[in-house]
Structure 1
Amino acid sequence: MPDLGTHRATITAELRTFPELTHAPGGDASAPVRRVTAPTGDRLWLVTSYALGRTVLGDPRFSRAAAVAHGAPRLSDITPASSAMTSMDGPEHARIRRIVAGAFSTRRAEALGPLVERLTDGLLDGLAAQGPPGDFVTHVAAPLPLSVLCGLLGIPDEDRDRFRSSVDVLFDINARSPAEKTRQRLMLVHYMTTLIERKRRCPDDGLMSTLIRTRDGQGALSEHELVNLGLALLMAGYETTVGQIGLTALALLTDHDHRLTLRARGAWTPAAVEEYLRLVPATPLSFPRVALQDVPLGPVTVRTGEAAVVSLAGANTDPAVFPDPDAVQETRPPHLTFGHGAHRCLGAHLARLQVATAIGRSLVRFPGLRLAPGDASVRWTSGLATRGLTRLTVTW
């Protein structure tokens, strides 16, 4: 059997340390707000405190629009377009968000529950047929979010591989050149533009057709905003959810005591889901925000034009808010995995549903589910955009 303690230590190291960020010489690496240097060479403030993180994420003095403006401090070369919903502030952001909010409501997510269960069960059939052992990422964690999102938006089955390969390039901050990422980004824009024209001619019940009708009938979106919104919904909901399912599975499989508790109860509870979302966020760092004016932030003042980024993984394990932070305790304050404030993740309910279903159905289908022997059973992918796994070999 693999050394489960080693795997748990690796999870902690991957999620709470950022080798891409360089701390200022002589600085206090444990300070709740501290200076770091990004791979771009830009200096930013890294916030690890829960309370101060909520301030950065929720205070309108910290701007997302300013963070994507020319010359703003960058965390990486992955920068959303200025017309993307995640790059807007105030009324413009609220206008776009209102258009799609209903499709990602709690009620809508609950309505998708039976579909997500059917998809998950079919993927688990494939895992069972292939193994044991089998790769949980390849057979479950990766295909489930893609199927759910493509079904929700109305993306044809034959287009899914093209989308997945392009997104893999864009989220890889280390191994791909800026030129290759630009090429893939242009390919995705061209694809979405073509898809919109196809759906104008042959509309369906998917969300993209609904957005097109909103654009054409009410003029609530520009054509450019429509293209960006379609891409944002696909990209934001795919990579992070793949990572979240894989990380949650790994964390649970290396938490022997909690697995015994779950078996005794016979239930994978909503509170347990929230704890693993808190402990292993697939997006460990927020998007940067730029201060529109001088803002006191704990022990420092973030000056006008300076950028701050929140360590969601650090805030989620702030001992001032989460005593014994590494323990799974099913009564906790709200975590920051899905963000906070106006930019809180629109797809939080849908992501939570997929994580809960994928893990819950797996535990029922394979009561003896465990990591396969050998260190090669777990392979990590890392970067400032997301954390996740490229392989999670399991047996039962």
Structure 2
Amino acid sequence: MTKAFTTGRTAAMAPAVEELADRHLDALEASGPGTDLIEALVAPLPLAVLCSLLGVPPEDATRFRDWVEVLFDISASTPQEKARRRLELIDYMADLIDRKRRRPQDDLLTSMIAAHEQGDLSMGELLTMGLTLLMAGYETVVGQLGLSVHALLHDPAAYGEVCGQPDRLAPTVEELLRLTPSTPISFPRVAVEPVPLGSVTVQAGEGVIVSLLHGNRDGRTFPEPGLLDPQGHDAAHLTFGHGVHRCLGAPLARLQLQIVLGRLTRRFPTLRTAAGPDAVVWKDGLGTRGLARLRVEW
């Protein structure tokens, strides 16, 4: 899996991501001086990138988005509806794997099928990994893009710096990842033996959840931890995890953030959040943070 998300392989995807971003921004500009940025750009672009990487046919993208958004939204559907959508998604992935086994292509899912046939992945692992990449790789990046634009629009000085000094883009992206992560907490983990942690000992059998949101604002590590520093920090944030649990898709997420924010600020230097209480609507998400609506004007 790590071979698919190396910095080099991810960088090779940059032209395709740039083309997608330009296409969506062209349509956004043509539609008029105001739009819902989530619907026009933030949601469709990561979906197209992920589908291209994995090998999901473009005509299936809309169905997949509907499935994932129902599964991650804790208020939009009943438990029965979630269960039905989950089964539909599993059936879809199993069918897609079968199709690619018969007609291999140059994509990540085909590579995973080859690993399964060599005995490196069981069928259950293949199915689970495919679903995990599709769901987590889409929902988290959509959330991060929306939150990043939202944060920049609420900090006009930072937005202006990125517009006027493109070299500030990369450190600004890292600051946005640090300050407003779409994944605010880690997966729960359970200690198998007593673990001293600061002034506390986590006993065997006790669960631990790490607040990435708070760790990223640790005043002992980051001076003025609540402020966006366009020059960035030397210390690493925890948004993508750490060590062997580090997010595989981190390079691809960074690439999309840098391309979208770079092009958005260059083409729309006067972008601002629209007036009115309904301009910004937050998702009732499960495990991830994000926006359901971000109406903007320029």
TM-score range, shorter chain: over 0.9
User: Which residue type is aligned with residue 288 of structure 2?
Assistant: T
Deviation, structure 1 residue 384: 4.0
Partner of 2:296: 394
User: Which residue type is aligned with residue 370 of structure 1?
Assistant: R
Partner of 2:240: 338
Name the SS for the 1:375 alignment partner: coil
Partner of 1:317: 217
Q: Is residue 283 of structure 1 aligned with residue 183 of structure 2?
A: yes
User: Which residue type is aligned with residue 150 of structure 2?
Assistant: L
Deviation, structure 1 residue 377: 1.3
Partner of 1:148: 49
User: Which residue type is aligned with residue 114 of structure 1?
Assistant: P
Inter-partner Cα distance in structure 2 for 1:262 and 1:201:
47
Name the SS for the 1:269 alignment partner: helix
User: Which residue type is aligned with residue 111 of structure 2?
Assistant: T
Q: 2:88 aligns with which of 184, 187, 194?
A: 187
After superposition, give the CA deviation of every residue in 1:320-375 in whole Å (9 maximum; x if it has no partner): 11120122222411000101121110000000111111111111111211111222
User: Which residue type is aligned with residue 210 of structure 1?
Assistant: S
Partner of 1:37: none
Q: 1:381 aligns with which of 242, 266, 283?
A: 283
Name the SS for the 2:292 alignment partner: strand
Q: 2:9 aligns with which of 108, 115, 130?
A: 108
Partner of 2:253: 351
Partner of 2:137: 237
Name the SS for the 1:287 alignment partner: coil
C-alpha distance 331-268 of structure 1, shift in aligned 2 (>3 A): closer
Inter-partner Cα distance in structure 2 for 1:384 and 1:319:
28
Inter-partner Cα distance in structure 2 for 1:362 and 1:260:
12
Inter-partner Cα distance in structure 2 for 1:395 and 1:328:
23
Asked whether the 8 Å contact 2:161–2:168 carries over to 1, the reply is no
Deviation, structure 1 residue 199: 0.9
Name the SS for the 1:334 alignment partner: coil
Asked whether the 8 Å contact 1:268–1:360 carries over to 2, the reply is no
What are the ranges of 5 or more consecutive residues in structure 2 without an aligned counterpart? none
Q: How does 1:361-380 map to 2 (within 5 A)?
A: 361-380=263-282
Inter-partner Cα distance in structure 2 for 1:175 and 1:266:
39
Q: 1:130 aligns with which of 31, 34, 50?
A: 31
RMSD: 1.4
Inter-partner Cα distance in structure 2 for 1:131 and 1:280:
29
C-alpha distance 264-163 of structure 1, shift in aligned 2 (>3 A): closer
Q: Is residue 249 of structure 1 aligned with residue 149 of structure 2?
A: yes
Inter-partner Cα distance in structure 2 for 1:166 and 1:240:
15
Q: 1:200 aligns with which of 92, 101, 115?
A: 101
Name the SS for the 1:192 alignment partner: helix
C-alpha distance 245-335 of structure 1, shift in aligned 2 (>3 A): same
Partner of 1:121: 22
Deviation, structure 1 residue 266: 4.3
Deviation, structure 1 residue 195: 0.5
Deviation, structure 1 residue 179: 2.8
Inter-partner Cα distance in structure 2 for 1:181 and 1:310:
27
C-alpha distance 151-263 of structure 1, shift in aligned 2 (>3 A): closer
User: Which residue type is aligned with residue 245 of structure 2?
Assistant: H
Partner of 1:164: 65
Partner of 1:21: none
Inter-partner Cα distance in structure 1 for 2:166 and 2:248:
31
Partner of 1:306: 206
Asked whether the 8 Å contact 2:53–2:107 carries over to 1, the reply is yes
> Normalised by the size of structure 1, how large is the TM-score?
0.72
What are the ranges of 5 or more consecutive residues in structure 1 without an aligned counterpart? 1-99
Asked whether the 8 Å contact 2:215–2:238 carries over to 1, the reply is yes
